[in-house]
């Protein structure tokens, strides 16, 4: 048996929550290793729908959840989320959730700066969620972040707030936004300490001990490869590394712990916010995909842009993300389409590319080169075996495998956790 790392293979919102939830029944520990509360996973369990943004999805399965050091934690959002899911009957306590004591905190000043900068960009805005993720990661890299462990040391907290506010208030002042008062932030953080510190520990010790005894660890990625701060459509990306390699660095384990990498992709493509999207549809089909797929952000409620499956982009994500098997979701959303298109490359100023170049202008100029496949009229919703799929749907899946150069090892045909076709068990290695 091996560990499993799940990452998005497009621009996020691929249905990772359901897949993590489905696989969590086989795992012992589920770990979040990057991102913040800007990403959301929706899990449908019977008549309950859980919307998670910071909490590891495995908690719904009664598994130990771990938030690693690679995550930036908004303590107010985390405690509110715990309260919300607890009201739904989910048990979240220091016995079931552990948080890395060296994880950086997102503070109100980060969200304020995020919003002020987006407003100042005007038409050139990046499309952030305004939740302070980017500024919090900036502080981490600049070595001025306030971490969970600092809540246990008031003297440290006092000194670090001086440095933090020297930087952020200067920026806020320049942007014409209200500044923050140190005493107010200090009081808020000291009040949070007794609520947050019981969850904190050096999780690397717990995870390494679990690894040594052969426990099965599931690493749960947020966002997706094409939003990776290095490998995505920069600057329209998130502020962390979303590729599988970061599962190790973001949790305190060695690279050998990452295990088998499963990439999640929709049977079509969506994107939230600004940035290039070569296969985006502005017609009736795009509208139909959005309506049938319920394409609204779990956290923000923002409408997602919809388009055809971009095999060239997913192939790129497979290569740089380390994906060994693909989980294809929302196949049922394509039911009833007379024909389907797969993007196999791009025309950029008359030149043919098999990948999306790094340059901003080149990405904006990319026009999709399509291959057209026959659609199907029968329903695939709820299918749990290949035999229940129309021949054209099988052909579509097989062609995606060829184009992205990775096998489809799991197929999801509805939001329900058991409406899944498993071709290869990821935990089997």
28 catalytically annotated: no
Sign of CA dihedral 181, 184, 190, 192: negative
| Catalytic residue, candidates 21, 28, 37, 41 | 41
Phi, psi of 210 (to 5 degrees): -65, -40
Residue 263: its H or E element: strand 260-266
Whether 224 and 10 have beta carbons less than 8 Å apart is answered as yes
Backbone angles phi and psi of 201, in degrees to 5: -165, 165
Tokens of 21: 């939830």
What are the residues whose beta carbons fall under 8 Å from the beta carbon of 145, sequence distance 6 or more? 104, 105, 136, 139
Residue with token string 């939001």: 415
Residue 378 annotated to the active site = no
Are the C-beta atoms of residues 168 and 270 closer than 8 Å to each other?
A: no
Buried b / exposed e along 69-101 (16+ C-beta atoms within 10 A)? bbbbbbbbbbeebbeebeeeebebeeebbbbbb
- Closest by CA position to 189, among listed 108, 97, 113, 112: 108
Q: What angle (nearest 5°) sits at the alpha carbon of residue 90, between those of residues 84 and 91? A: 110
Q: Are strands 420-422 and 408-412 parallel, antiparallel or unpaired?
A: antiparallel
- Rounded-to-5 percentages of helix, strand, coil across the chain: 40, 20, 40
Do the strands 4-8 and 217-220 form a parallel or antiparallel pair, or are they unpaired?
Answer: parallel
CA atoms within 13 A of residue 118's CA, in its CB half-sphere: 19
Residue 258: Cβ-neighbour burial (10 angstroms; 0-12, 13-18, 19+): buried
The count of residues in the chain is 429
In angstroms, the Cα distances linking 154 to 41, 104, 150, 159 are 35, 16, 7, 9
Active-site amino acid positions: 13, 41
């Amino acid at each position: 048996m091996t560990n499993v790392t799940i990452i998005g293979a497009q621009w996020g919102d691929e249905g990772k929550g359901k897949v993590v939830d489905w696989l969590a029944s086989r795992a012992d520990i589920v770990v979040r290793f990057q991102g913040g509360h800007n990403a959301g996973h929706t899990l449908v369990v019977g008549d309950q729908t859980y919307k998670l943004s910071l909490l590891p999805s495995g908690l719904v399965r009664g598994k130990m959840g771990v938030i690693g050091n690679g995550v930036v934690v908004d303590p107010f959002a985390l405690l509110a989320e715990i309260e919300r899911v607890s009201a739904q009957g989910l048990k979240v306590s220091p016995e079931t959730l552990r948080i890395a004591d060296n994880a950086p905190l997102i503070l109100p000043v980060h969200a304020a700066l995020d919003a002020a900068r987006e407003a100042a960009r005007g038409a050139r805005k990046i499309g952030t969620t305004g939740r302070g993720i980017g500024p919090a990661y900036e502080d981490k890299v600049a070595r001025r972040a306030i971490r969970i462990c600092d809540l246990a040391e008031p003297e440290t907290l006092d000194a670090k707030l001086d440095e933090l506010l020297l930087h952020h208030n200067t920026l806020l002042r320049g942007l014409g936004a209200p500044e923050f008062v140190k005493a107010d932030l200090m009081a808020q953080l000291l009040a949070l300490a007794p609520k947050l510190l019981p969850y904190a520990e050096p999780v690397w010790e717990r995870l390494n001990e679990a690894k040594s005894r052969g426990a099965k660890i599931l690493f749960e990625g947020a966002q997706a490869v094409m939003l990776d701060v290095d490998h995505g459509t920069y600057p329209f990306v998130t502020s962390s590394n979303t590729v599988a390699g970061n599962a190790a660095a973001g949790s305190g384990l060695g690279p050998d712990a990452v295990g088998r990498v499963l990439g999640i992709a929709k049977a079509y493509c969506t994107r939230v916010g600004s940035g290039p999207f070569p296969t985006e549809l502005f017609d009736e089909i795009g509208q139909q995909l959005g309506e049938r797929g319920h394409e609204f952000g779990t956290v923000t409620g923002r409408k997602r842009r919809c388009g055809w499956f971009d095999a060239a982009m997913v192939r790129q994500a497979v290569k740089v993300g380390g994906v060994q098997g693909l989980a294809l979701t929302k196949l049922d959303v394509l039911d009833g389409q007379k024909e389907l298109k797969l993007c196999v490359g791009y025309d950029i100023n008359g030149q043919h590319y098999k990948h999306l170049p790094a340059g901003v202008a080149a990405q904006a100029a990319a026009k999709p080169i399509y291959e057209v496949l026959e659609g199907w009229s029968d329903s695939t919703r709820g299918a749990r075996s290949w035999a229940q799929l129309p021949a054209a749907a099988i052909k579509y899946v097989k062609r995606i495998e060829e184009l992205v150069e990775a096998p489809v090892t799991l197929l999801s045909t509805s939001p329900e956790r058991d409406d899944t076709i498993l071709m290869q068990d990821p935990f089997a290695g």
